[in-house]
Amino acid sequence: MSQIKIFDTTLRDGEQSPGVNLNKQEKLEIAKQLERLGVDVMEAGFPASSEGDFQAVKLIADTIKDVSVTALARTRKEDIDRAWEALKHTPHPRIHIFLATSPIHMQYKLKLTPEAVVQQSVDMVRYAKQYFEHVEWSAEDATRSDWDFMTSIIEQVIDEGATVINLPDTVGYSTPEEYGRLFNYMKENVPNIDRADLSCHCHNDLGLAAANTIAAVENGATQVEGTINGIGERAGNVALEEVAVALHIRSDQYEFNTNLKLDEIKKTSDLIAKLSGMYVQANKAIIGRNAHAHEAGIHQDGVLKNAETYEIITPELVGVTSNTLFMGKHSGKHAFKDKVKEFGVDLTDGEVKSIFAKFKELTDHKKEVTDDDIYTLIMETKTEHSAISKYSLDTFQVNYGTSNITTATVSLYTPAGENVQTAATGNGSVEALYKTIQELIDFELKLLDYQLNSVGGGKDALAESHVQLRVNGETVNGRGTAQDVIEASANAYINAVNRYVFKAQAAKSEEVVNG
């Protein structure tokens, strides 16, 4: 079996999804889980893009030890220098440099001649090689580039020290047959290609990302780039869990394997879904909640007799376990701490104490507390302790009836610690609530999306709300949980506003630092 390296870009390309704005501590939690998952390379971010991204990449690089941490850089010395400053203390630093090679990008975006693109790439690979043993060079929009032009530039950057050549399908335009031929062509026509890994990076605009990735692997790619849950710009990137499980299940067809610990997939997926605010669709391959459910009677009958009749992937393979009761209202603190450790999340004593208090409160209302409930409490607590909360909910009340005008009254604490309150009406409970909160916050706010889900099943399940707001023209996601659906909705709305405030403050601090 040939070993395929997994390059995870959830923290860089994945975070470019509209509305996703992870803070430094949230990125670190994801990085730690990606390390447990067993990825080979982790793209932690784009250090030159902002001070916040630089600090996040540096924190991850200083913490992660068993995975090679990389950072994105343009073909500019200042980008490369910034990346080295962020990565120089990690055991296995590498850099990912990109420059577009397609005619449309060179003419309209870069405004550079092909000769200038070659020279800039060669010069910057040579410059980066002074710092980094491993240098990845990406031909942005490779699938719409001239293949002979790319063979020339690839040969030259390898001569300057590039150890990975990435041929991304940047706009998700390619088909499996075309993409496979591209890799085969480079293997046959670049004289020194044996000195570098070939990497594939597929977007999913036509729904072909997984198929294109497999085609690249079959034709010489030794590294696969993608994200967990397939998050990313537009229609997203290839979902790494789909590629890894496909190679595993169809090992009779594909003689390739990965280092991923497949039973960590579900936990990784859940963490990223909660922190990014991007729900996994129910019918998502591998980890959607319907992926291991059998509704039709004939399917259920077959599975009960022999699971292999309709089940090619066992839930246990990807870490899906039965959501059974594990603790109750009489459980003690020591037993609770032992249980929390099973989730593999690093928690301070203060965070454990806070989670335990919430757990006890939950058991007053919910008879059966499940793993999903505890995991949700952990993630909410990590957010509270890691983010700077500028607005906090004091009290609220919603008066609703089929024959009455719905009215909400809300009391908030402002950044200055002032308590403000007002009331407003709406066509329903959530609208009235959100209109009231909006009147108390001095921003231009527009609700773009609102979702409400239960954590687990049952009438006493925790409510989990996700919202997407446009705050002063910028799109942000927010999330909140509570026993009550209206309170969860309020928490999600305020969380989105606070995320905007935190990001705006970080940008302002960066302006001061840069003079």
Q: Which of 42-56, 280-294, 362-376 has the lowest mean pLDDT?
A: 362-376
Cα separation, 213 vs 215, in Å, equals 5
Mean pLDDT over 307-321 rounds to 81
CATH class of 392-513: alpha beta
Question: How far from chain centre, in Å, is Cα 81?
Answer: 26
Which residue is it, tokens 């809300």? 410
Confidence of residue 216 (pLDDT cuts 50, 70, 90): very high
Mean pLDDT across the stretch 434-453? 95
- Give CA–CA dist 37/422, Å, rounded: 47
Spatial contact of 179 and 169, defined as CB atoms under 8 Å apart: yes
Give the N- to C-terminal CA distance of the chain in Å, as an integer: 54
pLDDT, mean of residues 481-485 = 90
Report residue 293's pLDDT band, with 50, 70 and 90 as the boundaries: low
Q: Do domains 2-276 and 392-513 have the same CATH topology?
A: no
In this prediction, residue 119 carries a pLDDT of 98
Q: Smallest Cα–Cα separation from 509: which of 363, 423, 388, 393?
A: 388
CA–CA dist 215, 212 (Å, integer): 5
- Beta-strand runs (E) in 414-491: 419-426, 445-455, 462-471, 474-482
Domain ranges of the chain: 2-276, 325-381, 392-513
Q: Compute the distance between CA of residue 228 and CA of residue 215 in angstroms, rounded to an integer.
A: 20
Ranges 134-143, 254-263, 506-515: which has the least confidence: 506-515
pLDDT at 388: 57
CB 201 within 8 A of CB 216: no
Q: Tell whether the model's pLDDT for residue 496 goes beyond 60.
A: yes
CATH 3.40.50.1220 correct for 2-276: no
Structure tokens at 129: 């090689």
Tell me whether strands 197-202 and 164-169 are parallel, antiparallel or unpaired: parallel
* pLDDT on residue 325: 46
pLDDT score, position 336: 79
Asked if pLDDT for residue 503 goes beyond 90, the answer is no
Give the DSSP letter string of 78-135. HHHHHHHHHHTTSSS-EEEEEEE-SHHIIIIII---HHHHHHHHHHHHHHHTTT-SEE
The string of DSSP letters for 271-329 reads: HHHHHHT-PPPTT-TTTSTTTT---SHHHHHHHHH-GGGT-SS-GGGGT-----EEE-T
Q: Would you state the pLDDT for residue 295?
A: 46
Residue 304, both tokens? 């009960």
Residue 56, classed as helix, strand or coil, is helix
Contact 286, 265 (CB under 8 A): yes
pLDDT at residue 44 in the model: 98
Q: What is the pLDDT of residues 233-248, one digit of tens each?
A: 999 999 999 999 999 9
**283-311: average pLDDT:** 66
Dihedrals phi, psi of 340, to nearest 5 degrees: -60, -35
Over pLDDT 70: what percentage of the chain? Answer: 91
Tell me the per-residue pLDDT of 74-103, one tens digit each, with 9 for 90 and over.
999 999 999 999 999 999 999 999 999 999
At 461 the pLDDT is: 83
Cα–Cα distance, 23 to 389 (Å, whole number)? 12
At 328, the pLDDT band (50, 70, 90 cuts) reads: low
Q: What is the pLDDT of residue 306?
A: 57
Which tens digit of pLDDT belongs to each residue from 411-430? 999 888 899 999 999 999 99
Q: What is the pLDDT of residue 303?
A: 45
Residue-averaged pLDDT of the chain: 90
Per-residue pLDDT, averaged over 355-374, amounts to 80
Q: Across residues 35-50, what is the average pLDDT?
A: 97
Query: Which of 69-78, 147-156, 362-371 shows the lowest per-residue confidence on average (mean pLDDT)?
Result: 362-371
Hey, what are 436's tokens? 């009231």
* Closest-CA residue to 139 (of 113, 175, 164): 164
The CA distance from 226 to 237, in Å, is 6
Among 145-149, 285-289, 361-365, the least confident range:
361-365
- Other Cβ atoms within 10 Å of 283 Cβ, number: 10
Neighbours of 2 (CB within 10 A): 9
b/e code 240-255 from CB counts within 10 Å (16+ = b): bbbbbbbbbeeeeebe
Position 379 scores a pLDDT of 77
Kindly compute the dihedral angle of the four CA atoms of residues 208, 209, 215, 221, in this order, to the nearest 10 degrees.
Answer: 160
- 164, two tokens: 């990975």
